[in-house]
Amino acid sequence: MGSNTLKRKKLKNKMRAIAKKNEIKRLNTKPVIKKVDVEEIKKSFSNK
């Protein structure tokens, strides 16, 4: 039985590795820093 190739298991393991790699890439990406005008935000709160 050692000569049989487990194609579905091989595919599952490969897909699991790809998913893990993509998740690590996603978690390591830095979000785009938007330029925020802090004074403008403070004014909007003080007007209310």
For residues 17-24, give the mean pLDDT. 97
Which band of pLDDT confidence, cut at 50, 70 and 90, is reported for residue 19?
very high
Question: How far apart are the C-alpha atoms of 13 and 7, rounded to whole Å?
Answer: 10
- Checking if the pLDDT of 26 tops 60, the result is yes
Which band of pLDDT confidence, cut at 50, 70 and 90, is reported for residue 48?
low
Q: What pTM value is reported for the model?
A: 0.53
Question: How far apart are the C-alpha atoms of 4 and 18, rounded to whole Å?
Answer: 24
- Checking if the pLDDT of 1 tops 70, the result is no
- Checking if the pLDDT of 12 tops 90, the result is yes
For residues 6-33, give the mean pLDDT. 93
Question: How far apart are the C-alpha atoms of 22 and 19, rounded to whole Å?
Answer: 5
Domain parsing of the chain, residue ranges: 7-47
